[in-house]
Amino acid sequence: MFECIDFDEHLASFVTEYMQAHQKDYKNYDAMEADMPAIYVRFLNQPADWLDGLTPGSYFTQFEDPKDLVDWMIAYDQKGVAIPDLLLEQIENVGKPCEKRLVAILKDEEMSDALKMTAIGVLRTMESTQPKMLYIQWQMEREREDELADNALESLADMGRAALQPILEALPKANEAGQEALLDILANYPGNEQVFQLAQRLFRANPDRRALFAGYLGKLGDDRAMKDLMAAANDPELNYIDYLEIRNAIERLGGTAPERTFEGDPTYEALSGMQ
């Protein structure tokens, strides 16, 4: 039903032909590379026989049916052809009517993770909050390494306060990896006791990642964290990079970290040698 033309392939051919025809106009490869944005504009605006005389830049603008546009995106993925950026831009231009179908992709187990990643990116560009609860659910059940959930988390962060209350409600039910992921957002909104207690617990429980959780404690701005942070700053096993993050958190809370040296630590010695 949908013709999945490989725009990337045609662009590559266009660029190759253009470069061969104009190679004398460039002093070196860097000059040629610097001209790529202008060459791409030429590609967009030049009528193409492989589009029956239409320009690549105008081709997808003919289509405005949201279901057809999103189904076309799915067809590209299923046929293993790169989804054209121009198709994604037209989906974004049509906007809100496409949201429901894009969210349906995220819920469909038959769809590829690559397609879901693309759908998340399009929804984020559209500033959609429609998948908010689905993204939160993904965090609650996530693995520690999960690129799809990480992408969704970025979208949740962009939603700002619109996502804050449902995240707080979901936090106690989330698994450990999910709580850590959600904390990355919640640390930007100080003043919640539940969030502070979580950040403090994770700081204490993860000495190998305390730099990360020290950063959250610093953002939360609760000086009750000072005792734990100072103890960590004095830990003889502490490495220099972690010390810097912990020191930053202490200073953010209004304290003064102990001055230390870290002889033998390669980062410390490399930086010391530069002074």
* Radius of gyration in angstroms for the set of CA atoms belonging to the chain, rounded to a whole number: 25
- pLDDT surpassing 80 at residue 271: no
pLDDT in tens, 182-232: 999 999 999 999 999 999 999 999 999 999 999 999 999 999 999 999 999
pLDDT in tens, 14-36: 999 998 898 888 888 888 889 99
User: Contact, 88 vs 118, CB < 8 A?
Assistant: yes
- % residues pLDDT > 70 (the chain): 99
Residue 200 three-state SS: helix
Express each pLDDT in 130-163 by its tens digit: 999 999 999 999 999 999 999 999 999 999 999 9
Give long-range contacts, CB 8 A cutoff, 24+ apart: 242-249: 242/210, 242/211, 242/214, 244/211, 245/210, 245/211, 245/212, 245/214, 245/215, 246/210, 246/211, 246/214, 248/214, 248/215, 248/218, 249/214, 249/215, 249/217, 249/218, 249/225
Taking CA atoms, 160 is separated from 127, 131, 164, 220, 241, in Å, by 11, 14, 7, 16, 30
Span 158-172, mean pLDDT? Answer: 97
pLDDT digits (tens, 9 = 90+) for 81-118: 999 999 999 999 999 999 999 999 999 999 999 999 99
Residue 114: per-residue pLDDT: 98
- What is the distance, to the nearest Å, from the Cα of residue 13 to the centroid of all Cα atoms in its chain? 31
Strands (E), the chain: none
pLDDT at 30: 87
Amino acid at 120: I
**In contact, 70 and 98? CB cutoff 8 Å:** yes
* CA–CA separation, 256 and 24 (whole Å): 62
Contact 177, 135 (CB under 8 A): no
Q: Does the pTM of the predicted model rise above 0.85?
A: yes
For residue 85 the two structure tokens come to 């950026």
Rounded CA gap, 164 and 129, in Å? 12
- Residue 27: per-residue pLDDT: 83
Q: Which long-range contacts (CB under 8 A, 24 or more apart) does 34-42 make?
A: 39/14, 39/15, 40/11, 42/14, 42/18
How far is 126 from 91, CA to CA, in rounded Å? 9
